[in-house]
Amino acid sequence: MTTIPASPTVDAIMAAERAKSFTTRSIKRESKLHALKLAMSMVDLTTLEGKDSPEKIRSICAKAVTPWAGHDCPSVAAVCFYPSMVKLAKELLAGTGVNVASVATGFPSGQYPLEVRLRDTERAIEDGADEIDMVINRGAFLSGREGVVFDEIEAVSRLCKDSGAHLKVILETGELETLDNVRRASDIAIAAMLASGLLDEPGAGFIKTSTGKVSPAATMPVTLVMLEAIRDAHARDGVLVGMKPAGGIKTAKQAWHYLVMVNETLGGVAGDGNPWLSPGLFRFGASSLANDLLRQMQKLKTGTYAAGYDFSEA
């Protein structure tokens, strides 16, 4: 196993204070529409329910391509479904530029045998998945078996690298108990992706907060700690690792706060500009966010808010 860099201790109080400070920033009116469109372009529209049907997948794919028909609004970055829905989604989205992501590797528990998780991933990629969202084995991590976690991430990373798929490693931070554990899990995930060669391509590997099945999901202190791990990996190894907070981000105002955090934490890290302010390196796993972004866009353009029924739920 490749040596995993030592992880710094996280001052939880200072992390919370720093994260809170991003919520005090204001955005000028002329910049708000740009920020809304940028956030929309970073959304992964997602459904991960037992009652998912082909009809629901068709509806979500249509919204992914054209979130606001008749208006200047970008498509979302990706849709994310269970592997059984990947083939249909790939057919529906062919030529649109919207990626198809799939949860695999025994989602959401990550407790299946590795060979089962690898086959799950292989099938999703064979059916057309551009991106794989894998979950780590939190039981192994919390019991101190870091080598097991590293090896499993590296195995999935190699599979994705060989097939050309991108990978998002879900830490399920709501189960990791402390910010020190969040930082350590982030460092392990990045080290495993680096060892596989996946990170030779900028943005081919992400770290992601949550499955959406555990509370709390994404929080600003957790995301800040993960962004700092990404910053340190770039300083140490020159790699560009993506970030995806998922779950609990429901309003445009919250999205702005996250974008401010990305800008102030990673701005200038990779030279001029901030490559993380793009869907290639930052995503929101928050389907309900899309409609609030649309409501805010309409408010800026017309002066009035849309009714709840003006935008589809899917």
Q: Is 208 a catalytic residue?
A: yes
Confidence at residue 313, expressed as pLDDT on a 0 to 100 scale:
66
CA count, 13 A, side-chain hemisphere, 72: 5
Q: What is the pLDDT along the chain (314 residues), one digit of tens a residue?
A: 567 889 999 999 999 999 999 999 888 877 899 999 999 999 999 999 999 999 999 999 999 999 999 889 999 999 999 999 999 999 999 999 999 999 998 899 989 999 999 999 999 999 999 999 999 999 999 999 999 999 999 999 999 999 999 999 999 999 999 999 999 999 999 999 999 999 999 999 999 999 999 989 999 999 999 999 999 999 999 999 999 999 999 999 999 999 999 999 999 887 778 999 999 999 999 888 999 999 999 999 888 887 766 677 65
**DSSP structural state of residue 3:** P
Catalytic residue among 90, 161, 168, 208: 208
6 within domain boundaries: no
Q: Is 244 a catalytic residue?
A: yes
> How are strands ordered across the β-sheet holding 242-244?
44-46, 78-81, 99-104, 131-135, 166-170, 205-208, 242-244
Confidence at residue 308, expressed as pLDDT on a 0 to 100 scale:
61
The CATH number of the domain holding residue 40 is: 3.20.20.70
Instruction: Give me the residues paired with residue 40 across strands.
Output: none
Task: Please say whether the beta carbons of 286 and 78 come within 8 A.
Answer: no
Q: Is 127 a catalytic residue?
A: no
Catalytic residue among 120, 133, 187, 232: 133
pTM score above 0.75:
yes
Confidence at residue 39, expressed as pLDDT on a 0 to 100 scale:
97
3 within domain boundaries: no
Strand, coil or helix: what is 210? Answer: coil
Confidence at residue 309, expressed as pLDDT on a 0 to 100 scale:
62
Range of the domain at 293: 12-306
157 within domain boundaries: yes
83 within domain boundaries: yes
261 within domain boundaries: yes
75 within domain boundaries: yes
Q: Which of 40, 29, 32 is nearest to 71 (CA)?
A: 40
Give the integer Cα–Cα distance in Å for 174 and 140.
15
Task: Please say whether the beta carbons of 172 and 135 come within 8 A.
Answer: yes
Give the integer Cα–Cα distance in Å for 240 and 157.
15
19 within domain boundaries: yes
7 within domain boundaries: no
- Peptide bond connecting 202 to the previous residue in cis, omega within 30 degrees of 0: no
Give the integer Cα–Cα distance in Å for 193 and 295.
38
- Tally of domains in the chain: 1
